[in-house]
Amino acid sequence: MLYPELFRSLEQVRWNMETDIPWGEFDPALLSDEQAQTIRMNAITEWSALPATEMFLRDNRNDSDFSAFMSVWFFEEQKHSLVLMEYLRRFRPELVPTEAELHNVRFEFDPAPPLETLMLHFCGEIRLNHWYRCAADWHTEPVIKHIYKVISQDEARHGGAYLRYMKKALAEVGDNARVAFAKIGVLMASARRTDKPLHPTNLHVNQALYPNDTVQSRLPDPNWLEAWLDHQIHFDGEWEKKVVDRILHNLSLLFERSFESVQELNRYRKEALARLDPQAKASA
Ligand SMILES: [Fe+2]
Ligand SMILES: [Fe+2]
């Protein structure tokens, strides 16, 4: 069971909203209205950990270890939403999301294969870690810069925790896990700049609600994410490369084979798939 150890290690580095955020250093001259609006959208997006947790618990009923870890993940993600809202409450109270706006991102996700969902969220944490680091650079006001740095570190640790569960799954189910992880890895590392941002909150998750079945589509401004990345924080090709390298690096460690490119990972996926289905191998 990984939960006790993950609980302990995350507890050791946990930050305190009252004492670890330098609220007193706020400088009103360094926060623009445009910047404050993006904080509001990020606060609502973070709230979507709520429906994601409901999905994780439903789709992992047979895995009590992982389900127990969800208590830590859920707590920390809700805290991200809360610290961003607390910033607005103190310094831009008119922009604090309403309860209705928060509740609007709570909707049912269709059941999905747990291993693929796990990998999807692993990649999502890596991506968000980079988005928040980039956002910390873009912001000029020192308190919000600090907040984005702090939450970006949490996202990196979440990725690390998911990686531990991926390793566990690999030992338990072997090639089925390899195929699932490599498949999603190829998808999530293939983002081109013109494509939609590849993050769990930007994927369609409920056929019956299509097209309003992404978290982003249910935000007060459904188009903010692209604008934030492309025109505000400028998450460019260089940042994107860092995300892809991080995903490939971690999968190299996980699969004990080095991947220099998405193509190499795709080859590995096909090999694992062929082992699972010898007939497909024979016809190939
Ligand atoms: Fe978060
Ligand atoms: Fe996270």
Tens-place pLDDT, residues 67-84: 999 999 999 999 999 999
Confidence of residue 152 (pLDDT cuts 50, 70, 90): very high
Structural domains of the chain, with CATH: 3-283 (1.10.620.20)
Angle at 256 between CA 62 and CA 129, to 5 degrees: 70
Give the pLDDT confidence score for residue 193 in this predicted structure: 46
Residue with tokens 């939450």: 151
Residues 30 and 20: their CA atoms lie apart, in Å, by 21
Q: Averaged over 24-44, what is the pLDDT? A: 98
In the chain, count H helices and then E strands: 12, 0
Compute the distance from residue 275 Cα to the ligand 2 centre, in Å: 33
Confidence of residue 197 (pLDDT cuts 50, 70, 90): confident
Compute the distance from residue 283 Cα to the ligand 2 centre, in Å: 42
Compute the distance from residue 245 Cα to the ligand 1 centre, in Å: 21
Give the pLDDT confidence score for residue 196 in this predicted structure: 74
Residues with CB under 5 A from ligand 1 (ion): 46, 77, 80
Query: Residue 192 pLDDT more than 80?
Result: no
Compute the distance from residue 52 Cα to the ligand 2 centre, in Å: 11
Reported as a single tens digit per residue, the pLDDT across 15-30 is 999 999 999 999 999 9
Confidence of residue 43 (pLDDT cuts 50, 70, 90): very high
Q: 151-174 in b/e burial notation, b at 16+ Cβ within 10 A? A: bbebbbbbbbbbbebbebbbeeee
Q: Which two tokens stand for residue 258?
A: 């080095």
Reported as a single tens digit per residue, the pLDDT across 88-98 is 999 999 999 99
Residues 202 and 219: their CA atoms lie apart, in Å, by 11
Residue with tokens 């860092």: 242
Give the pLDDT confidence score for residue 191 in this predicted structure: 66
Confidence of residue 195 (pLDDT cuts 50, 70, 90): low
Residues 173 and 161: their CA atoms lie apart, in Å, by 19
Q: Averaged over 187-194, what is the pLDDT? A: 71
Q: How many CB atoms lie within 10 A of CB 20?
A: 12
Compute the distance from residue 237 Cα to the ligand 1 centre, in Å: 23
Reported as a single tens digit per residue, the pLDDT across 201-256 is 888 888 888 888 888 889 999 999 999 999 999 999 999 999 999 999 999 999 99
